[in-house]
Structure 1
Amino acid sequence: MILKKKKWHCLPGQPITELDKQVMSWEKKGKEVPSRDLIKTPEQIEGIRKSGVINTGCLDEVAKNIHVGMNTQEIDDICMAYCKEHDATPACLNYEGYPKSVCTSINEVVCHGIPKEEDVLEEGDIINVDMTTIFNGYYADASRMFIIGKTTPEKEQLVRVAKECLEIGAEAAKPYSFVGDIGHAIQKHAEKYHYGVVRDLCGHGVGLDFHEEPDVMHFGHKGSGMLLVPGMVFTIEPMINQGTWKVFLDADDPYEWEIVTGDELPSAQWEHTFVMTEHGLEILTY
């Protein structure tokens, strides 16, 4: 079956706006454009923003408590308790069988690391803590890297460059630019350091559901992918590997979630939820 591309539809009975004109002009040129339902209303954006405040507070609470000798189940306990205190729900919990409320990915684990009592943080580890909250039906998604104690210069650089990739990708996203512009900017910066940009996982639309359109790839070409229109909400979350961009599923993970670098060298990731405005991206997860 051939799936038809979604098209931009003007609102019935409403005058054609400048936004309509911009989107339809790109659609006529054969570019991929969002469907109208990807454009969030001001009320929806405010709801996502409130969820983002809780998400930020949760990661702040982890930052206050993370330390050498802590196990990753304790991180999960912190996140679960914070959500309960703020009438929020962790989106990861029971999502397609995922067993915990947060992802804790250490060193060579790229993403979806499952919190466990046996995973104890050691001096020099780097860990990504990835949290998605649901508050009043609205989703916000963010992750941070933490360096445990003193680590190597190589790991410090990887963590720093991964954060720079997020920032540079966000700067590349302008109103009526394209998803590919984000990936192109990230790939260009990461490859200056001979790092691999993971290609099998990506950012995504978010807000009314956990994962929405568009897929936000962190590599690619300018002018490719979906048009970025004011009102769209999505994550940018580059996964930057010290070595190869290739990854594999950890065979020892009974839940089949944990993704590991192909050469088992370290990986780093930072993530924010953004809304596209008329002037560029605004962070909703601080």
Structure 2
Amino acid sequence: MKKIVYVTDTNLIRKDIAERILAEKFDLRFTDAVTEDELIEKCGDANAIIIGLPDVTAKVMDAMPNLEYISSAIIGFNTTDIDAAKERGIPVSNNPKYCTNEVADHTCALILTLSRRIIEYNNEIHIDKQYASMAAGYPIHRLCTQTLGLFGFGAISKSVAKRMQAFGMKVIAYDPYVTKEKGAELGVEIVDIPEICKRADIISLHMPHMKSTDKMINKAVFDAMEKKPIFVNCARGGVVDEDALVEAVKEGKISLAGLDVVTNERVPIGDNPLTQQKNIVMTPHAA
């Protein structure tokens, strides 16, 4: 008898590829379950589950008595209760190479869009019907004179560094798991958080969301940013204190922000105060 494998998030996980790889050996089933209750109702007989964004909590695991394996088809595994899985002896894996280039490209696109004030110029032409150009007075700096500060220095962050170094940017990074020597091999200076806050003209986040990074970028960190930097997050919304981010934008502690993620992506985005800030450019977790 074949073991039962459920696949969620068919918008992230291609059905034809899953079938080609797994269907011969497993009873492969696809589901649109997203919430905790939906997973319990629709996947209760699972031996394994391949997920994208649904929350696999302790409650979900307990409702799946035959569950032997949880696979995150993407890089992030913050939607799975790792401690609960460990307690129950259930292995959890992720896909560390998922969309590395795509997220790096998107991050750089936001950096370029913000630093060159593309949105403002576009709005002047399409909304205000003006062709003001330099008369608009937006502060724009040559990227080759700027310092990019990266929080986290994994695969995506390294790809961003390589791309922005091609523009002549100086790149510094904070990552407690990366040595100064390893960073130097890639032309990147490994520094601490205060140093990034002091020196960076542009800051980009590239760390996972877990207990140790929850709201890591908080009011104290924003207050320490000396150069009113451009701020970009294509990592996870939960690593940022969003109330503090809104305050930092309003008070000019950061000049502009580009966000591809928010903390809670399951509530109507119009209810999020981030959408009310003209200096924040947002994309819908599209990176």
Q: What TM-score comes out, normalization by structure 1 length?
A: 0.28
Which of the pair is proportionally richer in strand?
Answer: 1
Relative contact order, CA 8 A, sep 6+: which one is greater? 1
